[in-house]
Amino acid sequence: MPDNFTVSASPHIRSRLDTGTVMRLMCISLAPAVLASVYIFGLNSLFVIVVSVVTCVLTELLCNFVFRKEITVTDGSAAVTGILFAFTLPPTTPLWMVVIGGFLAIFVAKQLFGGLGYNIFNPALAARAILLSSWPVALTTWVKPVSSFLAVDAVTSATPLGIIKGGARAGGVADSAYSYLDLFLGTIPGSLGETCKIALLLGAILLFIFKIIDWRIPFTYIATVAVLSIPLGRDPLAAVLSGGLILGAFFMATDLVTSPTTRGGKLLFGLGCGVLTSLIRSFGGFPEGVCYSILFMNCLTPLIDKYVQPRVFGTRRTWF
Amino acid sequence: MIAKNKGYMGLIAGIFGSFKGGVHPPEHKEPTESKPIERMPLPSRVVIPLQQHTGAMCEPVVKVGDEVKEGQRIGQARGFISSPVHASISGVITAIANFPHPVIPAPVRSIVIESKNPPVPAVWDKTGDWSALSGKDLLGRISDAGIVGLGGAAFPTHVKLSPPKETAVDTLIINGVECEPYLTSDHRLMVERSRDVVEGVKILLKILKVRRAYIAIEKNKPDAIEIMQKHAADKSLWNGATVKVVPLRVKYPQGAEKQLVSAILRKEVPSGGLPFHVGAVVQNVGTSFAVYEAVVKGKPLIERIVTVSGDRIREPKNLLVRIGTAFADVIEYAGGIIPGERHVKVIMGGPMMGIAQYTLDLPVIKGTSGILVCNEARPRKSLPCVKCGACVEVCPMNLMPCRIADFAERDDFAQCETYHVRDCTECGACTYVCMSNRPIVHLVKYAKLGLSKAKKP
């Protein structure tokens, strides 16, 4: 009989889901949206995604070496960030800008904070925010879907939310000029990964099946935007299907690291994102507010986690 | 302490036949769930630790060289929260010294008995009819027989059956949940010895003077549910008491005392409290059987059913094993360990809360519900917490295990306490789901140890 046994604290079994598996599933769940994006916006879109992913992965690897930390690039989180970052960009973003953005996402927003698990802001959104304030024109130049996906040149056009904002500025009640079906299928101008809602929802369903994301944040986020659109004089369905809300609600706001851990906290987080998005869309300088509202709520996450704690079994609820 | 603590969560638990949170690990009960309990031949040597229970250690009442008979008391209880130990085989005391123990890290004072040839058959002091005995007499027999909770915690049963006078205990819950993967000893006991378990329940009802009992069984044991239901429905058995079998959802840790009470009574045991604070006493089915044997047969607790299973054991079995039998003997009787490349882990108890052992030179004790010999799961590196909240989601005590683990890692035990580390039952659900492989239970134990050290001057 062998006489050296492994000893460790209980439990002695673990579920199959580890970080690497979760990140691979995230990549798979984003695949439909990648395909849709290439179909809708052509090869431009593919270039942006590939450059972004490669930059993110290489930056992660570089950081691992420079900071003399363990090699974490294999966990796949950098690749997920790369895809998500690309999804927030217009298809015509110059590739050098994508490189800078990918580098900022991993180096500044993630590794400088200590790597996966320690970052405060969603890296993809943080990088987008930096790019948007650095090169506002390039980051808000939207193009129409291409006729053939091999086409690289594109016709600029305003996004549905941009049209609404423009219309509101002009004093009229705006109609986005795109049908619900267009909005749903994504054959509209916009960031390259945000437009095709059906592809995004397909991926989101996968994440739900594997219990990687919780319903609370996406549900409260979307519901809040839909409800608030009524007093703000917008069409609720169009408000939900326009811009980056679906992408943001299912893939950005649910980012494990930067969202609250408790059930109550998740509800509050979704609510906060929804309120901020609605306010920015209607009263802010930008037509879209998903990115900034999620980033803002990211800052509040530690606070939410501190104060919105579950009621411990066998105790009365105490709030503060 | 607040006894009335129902809340809407309790209601929800009631509706879904379960508690909040929990996980569903693979059950792995197939290897042994249909195997009848087998009596293991008497060992030639037993090591009987003087501490096999929660509470004060026993005092030996024999000395080296003494001849003892099976069932003879060899260690006497010291104080109320303690429990005597008995010779599990007839023979000669050959040593009273410190020996390795499967639960307590440091070696524990134990009595070694070596059998003499030919073995002397034990004669129990047969009682038969117990209906004339008072509750106090019955309690005395249970205490004298050295009965402790056989679910694993090994808390002296007579103490648990003596709730403070001011509490109004009105419910007995018999725990036949057996939610740990692999383990099937309680399951087999209910199937094979249901009559005796029921007799034990009757004795417990009499001692507690309660008129209501629930027998809780997870739905993955339909045969046990059926048999126990048949007995529960037999009015002639119960002398007017209501006994109900409650099939519960298969979910870990359904058999944890507080979760069980919450699932059945929809009441939360207050933080730091015990089930009697909400009017309930919980006893394991194995304990109920031991009570029957002690009262009806006059037999002390000298053997128990042990599930021997795991993917590296050759012939998984449910064995009736004498207390003090070496793990090595038990494993050998079950065909031994299958040789293989991968490291082996020997666990006393189930895989979720059991204790990994470094040697097989250990005695089976009263709390040994199982011995598992498993392939060590491929070691996975512990990574930083990604704050996914899975642990918060599954924690049956509604804690934030990720936060506690983070603070424990930094030795910030005061913060662990504000995050209610003391309410943690170490069920392991958080660690089971953790995608970053964080050793949360380990860190919780570390924090509790740190807190208890801080309390001492």
B353 CA: distance to closest CA in chain A (Å): 5
Q: What is the mean pLDDT of chain B?
A: 90
Per-residue pLDDT, B137: 92
Mean pLDDT along residues B313-322? 96
Q: Choose among B345, B386, B398: nearest Cβ to A6.
A: B345
Mean pLDDT along residues B216-238? 93
Give the three-state DSSP class for B256: coil
Domain of residue A37, residue span: 19-138
Residue among B344, B435, B446 with most chain A CBs within 10 A, to mutate:
B435
Does residue B258 register a pLDDT over 60?
Answer: yes
Residue A92 lies in a domain: yes
Residues of B in contact with A9 (CB under 8 A): 356, 439, 441-442, 445
Distance CA(A173)–CA(A185), nearest Å, equals 25
Residue A320 lies in a domain: no
Note whether A189 and A291 are same-domain residues.
Answer: yes
> Per-residue confidence of chain A (320 residues) as pLDDT tens digits?
556 788 889 899 998 888 889 999 999 999 999 999 999 998 889 999 999 999 999 999 999 999 988 888 888 999 999 999 999 999 999 999 999 999 999 999 999 999 999 999 999 999 999 999 999 998 888 888 876 656 556 677 778 887 777 665 554 444 556 888 888 888 888 899 999 999 999 999 999 998 889 999 999 999 999 999 999 988 899 899 988 999 999 999 999 999 999 999 999 999 999 999 999 999 988 888 999 999 999 999 999 999 998 899 998 766 54
Chain A stretch 142-171, residues whose beta carbon is closer than 8 A to a beta carbon of chain B: none
Domain spanning B127-297, CATH class: alpha beta
Q: Output the six-digit token pair for B301.
A: 């607790």
Q: Output the six-digit token pair for B249.
A: 């959802």
Does residue B2 register a pLDDT over 50?
Answer: no
Per-residue pLDDT, A148: 63
Q: In chain B, what percentage of residues exceed pLDDT 90?
A: 81
pTM of the predicted model as reported, rounded to 2 decimal places: 0.90
Per-residue pLDDT, B123: 63
Q: CB-hemisphere CA count at 13 Å for B45?
A: 11
Q: CB-hemisphere CA count at 13 Å for B49?
A: 26
Q: What is the DSSP string of B71-105?
A: T-EEEE--SSSB--EE-SS-EEEEEEEEE--SSSS
Q: How many CB atoms lie within 10 A of CB B39?
A: 11
Give the three-state DSSP class for B53: coil
Note whether A285 and A233 are same-domain residues.
Answer: yes
Q: Where are the domains of chain B?
A: 45-115, 127-297, 390-455
Note whether A175 and A273 are same-domain residues.
Answer: yes
CB proximity B260 to A under 8 Å? no
Cβ–Cβ of A12/B433 closer than 8 Å? no
Q: CB-hemisphere CA count at 13 Å for B334?
A: 32
| Residue B5 or B255, more confident | B255
Mean pLDDT along residues B65-74? 92
Residue A317 lies in a domain: no
Strand boundaries in B4-158, DSSP class E: 38-39, 45-49, 59-60, 67-68, 73-76, 85-86, 91-99, 108-115
Per-residue pLDDT, B228: 95
Q: How many CB atoms lie within 10 A of CB A33?
A: 30
Per-residue pLDDT, B269: 94
Residue among B1, B20, B388, B400 with most chain A CBs within 10 A, to mutate:
B388
Number of A/B CB contacts below 8 angstroms equals 181
Chain B stretch 3-32, residues whose beta carbon is closer than 8 A to a beta carbon of chain A: 5, 7, 9, 20, 23, 25-26
Per-residue pLDDT band at B423 (split at 50, 70, 90)? very high
Per-residue pLDDT, A174: 46
Residue among A73, A313, A316 with most chain B CBs within 10 A, to mutate:
A313
Q: Which of A109, A138, A167 is the last residue of a domain?
A: A138
Residue A14 lies in a domain: no
Note whether A125 and A54 are same-domain residues.
Answer: yes
What are A7-32's pLDDT values in tens digits?
A: 889 899 998 888 889 999 999 999 99
Per-residue pLDDT band at B121 (split at 50, 70, 90)? low
Contact, B286 vs B189, CB < 8 A? Answer: yes
What are B38-48's pLDDT values in tens digits?
A: 999 999 999 99
CB proximity A116 to B under 8 Å? yes
Per-residue pLDDT band at B130 (split at 50, 70, 90)? confident
Residues of B in contact with A118 (CB under 8 A): 384
Residue A168 lies in a domain: yes
A212 CA: distance to closest CA in chain B (Å): 8
Does residue B13 register a pLDDT over 50?
Answer: no
Does residue B6 register a pLDDT over 60?
Answer: no
| Residue B212 or B13, more confident | B212
Does residue B131 register a pLDDT over 90?
Answer: no
Per-residue pLDDT, B329: 96
Per-residue pLDDT, B227: 95
Note whether A255 and A123 are same-domain residues.
Answer: no
Residues of A in contact with B428 (CB under 8 A): 10-11
Per-residue pLDDT, A168: 57
Note whether A98 and A201 are same-domain residues.
Answer: no
CB proximity B432 to A under 8 Å? yes
CATH number attached to the domain at B45-115: 2.40.50.100
What are B270-307's pLDDT values in tens digits?
A: 999 999 999 999 999 999 999 999 999 999 999 999 99
Note whether A166 and A303 are same-domain residues.
Answer: yes
B100 CA: distance to closest CA in chain A (Å): 15
Q: Choose among A2, A11, A314: nearest Cβ to B353.
A: A11
Residue A220 lies in a domain: yes
Per-residue pLDDT band at B3 (split at 50, 70, 90)? very low
Residue among B361, B383, B385 with most chain A CBs within 10 A, to mutate:
B383
CB proximity A9 to B under 8 Å? yes
Contact, B52 vs B323, CB < 8 A? Answer: yes
CB proximity B449 to A under 8 Å? no
Residues of B in contact with A115 (CB under 8 A): 384
Residues of A in contact with B352 (CB under 8 A): 10-13
Cβ–Cβ of A314/B392 closer than 8 Å? no
According to DSSP, the β-strands at B317-322 and B73-76 are unpaired
Per-residue pLDDT band at B263 (split at 50, 70, 90)? very high
Residue A314 lies in a domain: no
Chain B stretch 359-398, residues whose beta carbon is closer than 8 A to a beta carbon of chain A: 359-360, 372, 374, 376-377, 380-381, 383-389, 392-393, 395-398
Q: Output the six-digit token pair for B286.
A: 């194995």
Cβ–Cβ of B436/A117 closer than 8 Å? yes
Domain count, chain A: 2
Cβ–Cβ of A313/B431 closer than 8 Å? no
Note whether A131 and A203 are same-domain residues.
Answer: no
Note whether A171 and A98 are same-domain residues.
Answer: no
Per-residue pLDDT, A169: 54
Residue ranges in chain A assigned as alpha helix (H)? 19-41, 43-66, 77-87, 95-103, 123-134, 136-139, 160-170, 180-185, 197-209, 216-229, 236-241, 245-247, 263-283, 290-307
Note whether A230 and A128 are same-domain residues.
Answer: no
What's the ipTM?
A: 0.88
